[in-house]
Amino acid sequence: MPQFYVTTPIYYVNDEPHLGHIYTTIAADVLARYQRLCGSDVFFLTGVDEHGLKVQQAAEARGIEPIELADQVVDHYRKLWPQLAITNNDFIRTSEARHKTAVQELWRRLDAAGAIYKDTYEDWYCVPCETYWTETQLKDAGALKELQCPDCGRKIERVKEESFFFRLSAYQERLLEHIRAHPEFIAPVSRRNEALRFVEGGLRDLSVSRTTFSWGIHVPDNPEHVVYVWIDALTNYLTALGFPDGEDMRYWPADVHLIGKDILRFHAVYWPCMLMAAGLPLPKRIFAHGWWTVEGEKMSKSKGNVVRPAELLNEMDADIVRYFLLREVPFGHDGDFSHIALKQRYNTELANDVGNLLNRSLAMLQKYRGGRLGVAGEETAIDRSLLAQVEATQRGVEKAMSQQAFHEALEHINTLVRFGNRYVEENAPWSLAKQGEEARLDTVLYHLVESLRLIAMQLAPFMPDKCARMLTQIMNREVNVDEVNMREHGGWGYLQSGHVCAKPEPVFPRME
């Protein structure tokens, strides 16, 4: 059975979940569900990033211990994911014992490979980004005078400490070769170019331990030094598989790390170099998606426009959020979240197109045949076109999903849905019924229902609950989408003549 390992970033516990967090997790879930549908053995990982100065400071500000803050936020995440129909196989917390084992083991391997050395460190540091900046970098970004972080614009601090370093520079050439030889390694292309430019600009060794705070994992046999939070965080992708010798290590290397564009450098530069140093295979792909604005504005706490998932879920089904986020914006681009756009997408593509096709098809089947499918007779040109369209959709979705092009996958499905509605108009089953063309009427109704079944299957990774309801009506029994798979159910002709469908019940009522 083919294996598939997909990950999300692990989210900092100094903030409650918001739109950006659910975006990556939903995307990862859709990939995981799609791969399961296609028969893969899937490992889907998400979790939280608990260590570091930022979390320590956030906890201090509330007068609680870092672990207490983490526990609170973790609780929110754990409750949220099922509400969004997220089917992660594991949820990692970096405060867990298994993670400490993995981080320290990785450290030992880096050390044994001669990739770690001790030196003194003096530089600028941005606490919110957990990022170090050299004077040259600040000067280049025009941020030296104001002492602002070139990434987030917030105030940076001068730090000087003894620290361990990772010989990042030693892996520069190998990394360049790898990126050049594997065009699919970093996506989309704009991000691949960005990573290439960064590496070509020269890699500096990386300070990978801290002595100025304590909330983290200490360097093996060296309790004064805490492992740099990004080394700690990135290792989570191995921890969950039981690194170093757990059975689930068979899922490594990851098929895709989904991340946001702001954390590209850590995943596309630091992480591969660490893995090379440790003698581990590199992930097959790193996909960096864009950022959402909200009603045209940057999302920020101070503006008070942060989109919280709990509020969205009060207003609408999780499936609608899932559909909108992956349909509205090509994955990899920035986009804008707006209630008007969401309602428009829903009403046109789901209520009007999918909902209408389902309702009218099942309603006609009821009206003319009491819900019972007849024998599909001789095929005409338009029937063949419909079948060709079904097959083209399956192929198109497969290709799009292999590239994380969710919006394209949905476009393919929507094209088929529109074709289905045209098929209804052109065949006018109501006229066939009136004229007593019974055999043709049976053929048309069969084609409609069988297409709808396959449409629901293709849409299921995106909208598991809505599609379960569609399939339940079509199959006339409770359908669990997790048990549906392409091999058994993905071919044309699964529905047999004589099968009785249920009466239609609206799955996509119009949004007012």
Instruction: Tell me whether residue 70 or residue 233 sits nearer to ligand MSP (CB atom).
Output: 233
Tokens of 350: 């789901």
Q: Which is nearer to ligand MSP, 229 or 444 (CB)?
A: 229
Residue 259 lies near ligand MSP (rule: CB under 6 A) = yes
Residue 21 or 466: the one with the smaller Cβ distance to ligand MSP is 21
> Hey, is 47 helix, strand or coil?
strand
User: Is 23 one of the binding residues for ligand MSP (CB under 6 A)?
Assistant: yes
Closest CA to 232 of 134, 101, 113, 120: 101
Asked if residue 96 binds ligand MSP (CB under 6 A), the reply is no
Instruction: List the one residue from 248, 262, 408, 437 that touches ligand MSP (CB under 6 A).
Output: 262
Question: Among 30, 103, 234, 274, which residue interacts with ligand MSP (rule: CB under 6 A)?
Answer: 234
Closest CA to 472 of 492, 452, 496, 497: 452
Nearer to ligand MSP, 149 or 417 (CB): 149
Q: How many beta carbons lie within 10 A of that of residue 483, not counting itself?
A: 8
Sheet of 116-126: strands edge to edge? 131-133, 116-126, 157-166, 206-207
Residue 464 touches ligand MSP, criterion: CB under 6 A: no
Q: Is 10 in the site for ligand MSP (CB under 6 A)?
A: yes
Task: Give the helix, strand, coil percentages of the chain, each rounded to 5.
Answer: 50, 15, 30
Q: Which of residues 406-425 bind ligand MSP (CB under 6 A)?
A: none
- Work out the burial of residue 315: count CB atoms within 10 Å of its CB; fewer than 13 is exposed, 13-18 middle, 19 or more buried: exposed
Q: Is 138 in the site for ligand MSP (CB under 6 A)?
A: no
Which amino acid appears at position 363 of this protein?
A
Q: Which of 229, 237, 266, 232 is nearest to 8 (CA)?
A: 237
Task: Please state the closest distance from residue 26 (CB atom) to ligand MSP, in A.
Answer: 11
Q: By CB under 6 A, tell whether 263 contacts ligand MSP.
A: yes
CB atoms within 10 A of CB 156: 25
291 binds ligand MSP (CB under 6 A): yes
How do strand 222-227 and strand 256-260 relate by DSSP bridges?
unpaired
Q: Structure tokens of 170?
A: 């030693």
Pick the binder of ligand MSP from 233, 286, 386, 507 (CB under 6 A): 233
- Please choose, out of 3-11, 67-75, 202-210, 377-385, the segment that lies near ligand MSP by the rule CB under 6 A: 3-11
Torsion of CA 263, 180, 235, 44, to 10 degrees: 80
CA-closest candidate to residue 80, choices 28, 21, 35, 34:
21
Measured from the CB atom, is 12 or 419 closer to ligand MSP?
Answer: 12
Beta carbon nearer to ligand MSP, 40 or 190: 190
Is residue 11 at the binding interface for ligand MSP, with CB under 6 A as the rule?
yes
The residue (of 10 and 401) whose beta carbon lies closer to ligand MSP is 10
Q: Counting contacts by CB under 6 A, is residue 494 touching ligand MSP?
A: no
Q: What number of other Cβ atoms are within 10 A of residue 181's Cβ?
A: 8
CB atoms inside a 10 Å sphere around CB 304: 7
Q: Which of 188, 260, 371, 396 binds ligand MSP (CB under 6 A)?
A: 260
Site for ligand MSP in 24-53 (CB under 6 A): 24, 49
User: Residue 311 to residues 17, 316, 318: CA-CA distances in angstroms?
Assistant: 11, 9, 11
CB of 232 to ligand MSP, least distance (A): 9
C-beta of 233 vs 318, nearer to ligand MSP = 233
Piece of 10-18, 120-128, 170-178, 325-333 that binds ligand MSP (CB under 6 A): 10-18
Q: By CB neighbour count within 10 A (0-12 exposed, 13-18 middle, 19+ buried), where does 480 fall?
A: exposed
Does 195 bind ligand MSP (CB under 6 A)? Our answer is no
Among 143-151, 255-263, 400-408, 412-420, the segment contacting ligand MSP (CB under 6 A): 255-263
Select from 291-299, 315-323, 356-364, 393-401 the region that touches ligand MSP (CB under 6 A): 291-299
Please report whether residue 495 would count as binding ligand MSP according to CB under 6 A: no
- Is 54 near ligand MSP (CB under 6 A)? no
CB of 167 to ligand MSP, least distance (A): 21
According to CB under 6 A, which one of 43, 292, 331, 368 is a site residue for ligand MSP? 292
Nearest to ligand MSP of 266, 494 (CB atom): 266
Sheet holding 209-210, edge to edge: 209-210, 222-227, 218-219
Q: Helix (H, G, I), strand (E, B), or coil: what is residue 416? A: helix
Distance CA 265, CA 255 (A): 18
Q: Which is nearer to ligand MSP, 18 or 499 (CB)?
A: 18
Among 4, 5, 6, 12, binds ligand MSP (CB under 6 A): 12
Could you tell me how many residues of this chain bind ligand MSP (CB under 6 A)? 19
Residue 212, judged by CB atoms within 10 A of its CB (0-12, 13-18, 19+), counts as exposed
What is the contact surface with ligand MSP in residues (CB under 6 A)? 9-12, 20-21, 23-24, 49, 233-234, 236, 259-260, 262-263, 291-292, 299
